[in-house]
Amino acid sequence: MTALADDKKTEYREGVEISIPVDDGDKIYAGAMVCANADGYAVPGADTAGLIFMGIAREQADNASGQDGDISVLVRRRGLFKMSFATAITEANVGDSVYIADDQNVDLVGNVTNDIFAGIIAEYIDTTHAWVDIEPAVRQSDAAAHIADGTAAHAASAISIADAGLFTSQTEVEAALQEIYQHLKSAKGIIDIPTPYFTNAGVALAAFSDGDSATPGFCVTEKGLGIRWNNHATPGAVGTKVIVPPDMDVTANAVLHVLAAKTGATVGDATKFTIAAYNNVVDAAYDADTDFGGDTSAMTGDATAKTVQHETLTLALANLAAYPAAMELTIKPKDGTLGTDDVILLAVWIEYKKKLLTA
């Protein structure tokens, strides 16, 4: 059909009462709660999985000997209805949701199995009766049918969740939400470790001095800042501290990353960095924690001096402290691994798994 080129009389009705074809073999009594089954046919209300509440029968519809849809039942979809409760209620239950127990009784959550929403208690009458507003349940049923429809009209993009290739590669709501959830589960965070300014002996770092000293120093050029060690057998360490972030998931390992470069290209200089760490934990002595850490992966000799290399060290989850906490760190080239070339530390950071949900 084509678009309108003139005025049109569009048919309209309030939709307060509708006729629904009845399922084969079923008899629905006047005043009964009515549900739709998976095939869309009316059946008596019951605590049965898969049923959707449709309203209250205004007449009897006996299709016990008929086929699907041989007759229809008139159903009212709005209003307050006096309903019976299978278990006792009180005035305090006003505002609570109710669920179908059978075709004439409702009950509160926890007293039924399949939680087929039938309305909200609007007014208390006595321990086994109340006025129930059925419209919220009917509206929810309409929404449930909309969401269950897998056609393109109800795809994620139709409700502004998806823009394929940008927010999600999926075209349906459920798949899009699953994709987003998987991204959240694998989200990573970074703790930027500031450049250390002190040795582990508490002495402020000075400019690097070439020679035989085990003490590192700042190596500053127009290209940036680093900490440089002489090719000493037992180089000194530098120390720093970081705060554990609130979203850090301490049930998963973290990884410490190092960017470093060697001043020469001596093949066989397999320099590692030794990391020592301990935690400052709330309600514990500041020096009570057991040291943890270890050695990073090894740098390699390269064909070109000053090549930036990336080394890592896994920080086991058993050693991680949850926020609020701080992590003390000392860093140094491992004893005996500095050969011919000096080494320059360029950057250090910790990569961690983010909590899926945070308060």
Domain ranges for the chain = 16-148, 149-186, 189-353
95 Cβ contact partners less than 8 Å away, ≥ 6 residues apart: 120, 121
What is the distance between the alpha carbons of residues 291 and 168, in angstroms, rounded to a whole number? 43
* 13-22, 33-42, 120-129, 348-357: least confident range: 348-357
- The residue length of the chain stands at 359
218: pLDDT strictly greater than 80: yes
Q: What pLDDT digit, counting tens, does each position of 80-98 carry? A: 999 999 999 999 999 999 9
CATH 2.60.120 fits 16-148, yes or no: no
Task: State the Rg of the chain over Cα.
Answer: 35
Q: In the predicted model, what is the mean pLDDT of residues 118-122?
A: 95
What is the model's pLDDT at position 106? 97
157, pLDDT greater than 50: no
Secondary structure element (H or E) that encloses residue 18, with its range? strand 17-21
pLDDT surpassing 90 at residue 257: yes
User: What is the CA 50 to chain-centroid distance, rounded?
Assistant: 28
Nearest one of 245, 250, 249, 243 to 357, comparing CA atoms: 249
pLDDT, the chain, mean: 86
What architecture is domain 189-353? Answer: Sandwich (2.60)
Taking residues 278-292, report their average pLDDT: 85
pLDDT tens sequence across 303-349: 778 889 999 999 998 889 999 999 999 999 999 888 788 899 999 99
> What is the reported pLDDT for 156?
45
Asked whether residue 162 carries a pLDDT value surpassing 70, the answer given is: no
Give the pLDDT band (50/70/90) at residue 55: very high
In this predicted structure, the answer to whether residue 143 has a pLDDT above a threshold of 90 is no
**pLDDT score of 339:** 76
Does the structure show a pLDDT above 50 at 28? yes
Residue 245 pLDDT > 90, yes or no?
yes
The percentage of the chain sitting over the pLDDT mark of 70, rounded to a whole number, equals 89
Quick one: pLDDT at residue 107? 96
Maximum mean pLDDT: which of 97-111, 289-303, 345-359: 97-111
Note whether 16-148 and 189-353 share their fold. no
Given the DSSP bridges, would you call strands 105-107 and 80-85 parallel, antiparallel or unpaired?
A: parallel
